[in-house]
């Protein structure tokens, strides 16, 4: 189960003033499912309007209805073997999205499996959250307990020319469990739980 407070701790920082997002990458896919361009940029070099718009899209994933729209799944030992999606996600996280070859590999895997009948975007965000220590009475100290490095993926239909709408599905990796990075789990988002994109589970290998 996902603790709602853990997700709120992350999303409270997803504002232009407080964000520690480092990078954003993504690609566009046309209505035939073919690659239609990509980008990879330092998040802080985006304009304030662009940061606001993209933070809103990223925030949709962890801020969604916990344990209903956002559900935690385990990567078993077999799903963490060499060549797995888990290994690719780990590499993407550890390079801070700066390796375009890794990003292209991820986009290719998604495009091969994801079902859409219109143009869409695959957006990836990278963040490093310096988790503050909490005392027994819940007070926060300035000291850092752990740096939680993670990525958020949002798959969004396009509402205009290269304009992503609200995510239809996505994920947060690794999961954030008990205020700590949980490398064995991933939190998967589905906007419509009655018509989920089940193919995201196949893409992730869970």
pLDDT level of residue 137 (50, 70, 90 thresholds): low
What is the reported pLDDT for 41? 98
166, 191 contact by CB (below 8 A): yes
Query: What is the spatial distance between Cα 180 and Cα 74, in angstroms, rounded to a whole number?
Result: 15
Q: What is the pLDDT of residues 158-200, one digit of tens each?
A: 998 899 999 999 999 999 999 999 999 999 999 999 999 999 9
Share of residues in the chain with pLDDT > 90 (%): 87
Cβ count near 187 (within 10 Å): 27
Helix axes 4-11, 48-63, angle to 10 degrees: 180
| Cis ω for the linkage preceding 174 (within 30 of 0) | yes
Decide which of 201 and 135 is more confident.
201
Measured in whole angstroms, the distance separating CA 127 from the mean position of its chain's CA atoms is 10
Q: What is the pLDDT of residues 73-120, one digit of tens each?
A: 999 988 899 999 999 999 999 999 999 999 999 999 999 999 898 999
Burial 9-46 (b: 16+ CB within 10 A, else e): bbbeebeeeebebbbbbbbbbeeeeeebeeeeeebeeb
Domain boundaries, the chain: 4-204
């Amino acid at each position: 189960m996902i603790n709602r407070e853990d997700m709120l701790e992350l999303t409270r920082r997803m504002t232009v003033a407080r964000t520690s997002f480092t990078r954003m990458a993504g690609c566009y896919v046309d209505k035939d499912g073919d690659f239609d361009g990509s980008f990879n940029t330092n998040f802080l070099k985006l304009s304030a309007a662009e940061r606001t718009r993209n933070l809103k899209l990223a925030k949709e994933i962890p801020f969604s209805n916990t344990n209903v729209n956002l559900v935690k799944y385990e990567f078993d030992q077999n799903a963490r073997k060499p060549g797995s999606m888990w290994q690719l996600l780990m590499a993407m996280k550890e390079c801070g999205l700066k390796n375009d070859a890794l990003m292209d590999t991820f986009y290719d895997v998604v495009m091969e499996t994801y079902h859409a009948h219109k143009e869409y975007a695959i957006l990836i965000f990278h963040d490093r959250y310096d988790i503050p220590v909490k005392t027994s009475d819940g007070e926060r100290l300035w000291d850092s307990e752990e740096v939680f490095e993670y990525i958020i993926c949002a798959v969004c239909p396009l509402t205009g020319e290269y304009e992503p709408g609200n995510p239809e599905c996505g994920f947060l990796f690794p999961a954030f469990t008990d205020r700590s990075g949980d490398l064995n789990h991933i939190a998967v988002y589905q906007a419509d739980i009655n018509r989920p994109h089940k193919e995201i589970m196949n893409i992730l290998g869970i």
